[in-house]
Chain A
Amino acid sequence: MPKGLREIRNRIKSVKSTGQITRAMQLVASSKMKRAQDAARHGRDYAELLGEILETAMSKVGEFTHPLLTKREVKVRGVLLITPDKGMCGALNSNLVRAASEISNAAFVTIGRKGKQAMARAGRTLLADFPVSDRANFSEVRPATEYLLQAFLDGKVDTVEVIYAYFKNTLVQSPRVQKLLPADSLAAQAHDLRVRLNLPTTAAVADNRDMIFEPSAQAILERLPALFFKQAVHQAVLESKASEHSARMVAMKAATDNSKKIASALSLEYNKARQAAITQEILELTAGAAAQ
């Protein structure tokens, strides 16, 4: 067999096996994607309701001060970067890292290996890294949120911002920077959330009677901002998981399609070369016969 033919055959083989791997990854990603997207949607339910409760409570209680709500001079920005653990998800990681590297004088906390590696390589201040599995339960995200809350209260960082891949739909995910602390005004934050989730911006429940607070408005509003913050971080993690699996599914589907295309183009080339070789051989034989 001529050398060219064998080379083409080897390339076909390797392209096909790559295609099998990407197809397997596509299937894995699409099954995870379904659950992650559901989780992100249900998380939005929780976010919406918490925001709503906060909104009604704030509208009935008047002015209120809380350490998490007080603005101060920003020396160090605290940034929580949420990325996937693995690559193979298109431009998702590089977009997130680019959004993160645009922020100066920041101290980073990361969730996800890719973000940690990128920040360590770039020599940025890395305060902590928290692993979160694909399930991303509320309790799994808790250590990260507790750490950020404490860092903010201790004055290690003067803001808490979160960078994550916002999940729009299976095809579109965009990196988003969202400021969470200090929550200057809870009502505005709740409003932001409603705008972000494309919800009606007026309170859904209209009730003009005076609100009762048990045990007291103070007791409730002391806990709500922290819970709201934790929830916002959790929601960001859910969104980025949904984005990750969607992006990977799409990227791997493109890779599988591409490998099929290349394999068929190579097969065509292979058959042509084979045909040419056979024709050549016949010509040589007939030429030899004629010469005798």
Chain B
Amino acid sequence: MPLTVEIVTPDRRAYQGEADSVTLPTELGNIGILPSHLPLTSILAPGEVVVVLQGKTTRLAVDQGFLRVAADKVSVVTEAAIDEAKIDLKAVEQGEARAREAVAAARQAKEVDPAEVAKLEQILRFAAVQRLVKGRTSPGLTD
């Protein structure tokens, strides 16, 4: 029996479907989930989720969050997630540059709003993850 996978962000349901195996980034390193895995709750680290179904691989960049495996159902809640195929590196770079500038401006300002910095850090972190995930697969190698 295949696994059921759902990846949910506050904005949308980023992935929903069946899988033969799932690889997830956690704080203690990547873990692979196969059917009949023991129930597990863990902290999701920013990184790459790989969903394999009948030899077909789907890669997603995810931000930090939580994951739970129970009764062959893999549930992931994360602040942001995007399909590798949909990552637009140009848009990512532009967003990253804007965030960098804003961070630099925030460092110079006398009163720094930590929430604002955290928000920018999230943008930067997710941008880095997207670049990493996109960079790993060159167009010629994907199926």
Q: Is A196 an interface residue (CB 8 A)?
A: no
A76 at the B interface (CB under 8 A): no
CB pair B66–A224 under 8 Å, yes or no, is yes
B40 lies within 8 A of chain A by Cβ: yes
Number of interface residues of B (CB under 8 A): 33
Q: Contact: B38 with A53, CB < 8 Å?
A: no
**Cα distance A45–B81 in the bound complex, in angstroms:** 15
CB proximity to A under 8 Å, residues B85-133: 113-116, 118-119, 122-123
Q: Does A52 contact B (CB under 8 A)?
A: yes
Q: How large is the interface on A (under 10, 10 to 19, 20 to 34, 35 or more residues)?
A: 35 or more
Q: Mark B1-33, 1 if CB is under 8 A from A, else 0.
A: 000001011111100000000000011100100
Chain B residue with minimal CB distance to A212? B40
Q: In chain B between 59 and 104, which residues have their CB closer than 8 angstroms to a CB of chain A?
A: 66, 68, 70-71, 73, 75, 77, 79
- Across-interface contacts of B119 in A (CB, < 8 A): 139, 142-143
What is the bound-complex CA distance between A205 and B68, given in angstroms? 11
- Does B43 lie within 8 Å of A214, measured CB to CB? yes
Q: Does chain A have a CB within 8 A of B41?
A: yes
Contact B6 A207 (CB under 8 A): no
A207 touches which of B28, B42, B71 (Cβ 8 Å): B71
Chain B residues closer than 8 Å to A137, beta-carbon distance: 10-11
Cβ distance A45 to chain B, nearest Cβ, rounded Å:
5
Name the contact of A215 in the complex, choosing from B39, B43, B66, B79 (C-beta under 8 A): B43
On whether A50 and B39 interact (CB within 8 A), knowing A45-B8, A214-B28, the answer reads no
Nearest CB in chain A to that of B76: its residue: A49
| A138-B11 in contact (CB<8A) | yes
| Contact status of A56 and B68, CB under 8 A, knowing A42-B11, A207-B39, A213-B42 | yes
How far, in whole Å, are A35 and B45 apart by their CA atoms in the complex? Answer: 30
Known interface pairs A213-B42, A220-B41, A220-B42. Does A205 touch B73 (Cβ–Cβ under 8 Å)? yes
Contact of B71 among A57, A205, A227 (CB under 8 A): A205
Total number of A-B contacts with CB less than 8 angstroms? 100
* Residue of B with least CB distance to A211: B39
C-alpha gap A118/B11 in the complex (Å): 30
CA distance A137 to B10 in the complex (A): 8
A234 touches B10 (CB 8 A): yes
CB contacts (< 8 Å) of B77 on chain A: these are 46, 49-50, 53
Cα A213 to Cα B109 with chains together (Å): 41
Chain A residue contacts of B40, Cβ below 8 A: 211-214
Please give the distance in Å from B92's CB to the nearest CB on chain A.
Answer: 16
CB-defined contacts of A205 to chain B, threshold 8 Å: 70-71, 73
- Min Cβ gap A225→B in Å is 12
Closest residue on chain B to residue A139 by CB atoms? B119
Task: Judge whether B41 and A53 touch: CB under 8 Å.
Answer: yes
**Which A residues touch B12, using CB under 8 A?**
42
- Interface residue ranges of A110-151 to B (CB < 8 Å): 137-139, 142-143, 146-147
Interface string of A188-206 (1 = CB under 8 A from B): 0000000000000000011
Interchain CB contact under 8 A, B71 and A206: yes
Q: How far is the CA of A217 from the CA of B66 in the complex (A)?
A: 12
> A53 to chain B: closest CB distance in Å?
5
Which residues of the partner chain A approach B9 to less than 8 Å between Cβ atoms? 46, 138
Distance between B26 CB and nearest chain A CB, rounded to angstroms: 6
11 new A-B contacts, CB < 8 A, other than A138-B9, A139-B119, are A45-B8, A49-B8, A49-B75, A56-B68, A137-B11, A143-B116, A214-B27, A214-B41, A214-B43, A219-B43, A234-B10
Q: List 12 A-B contacts (CB under 8 A).
A: A42-B12, A50-B66, A56-B70, A205-B73, A207-B39, A209-B39, A211-B70, A212-B39, A212-B42, A213-B40, A214-B42, A234-B10
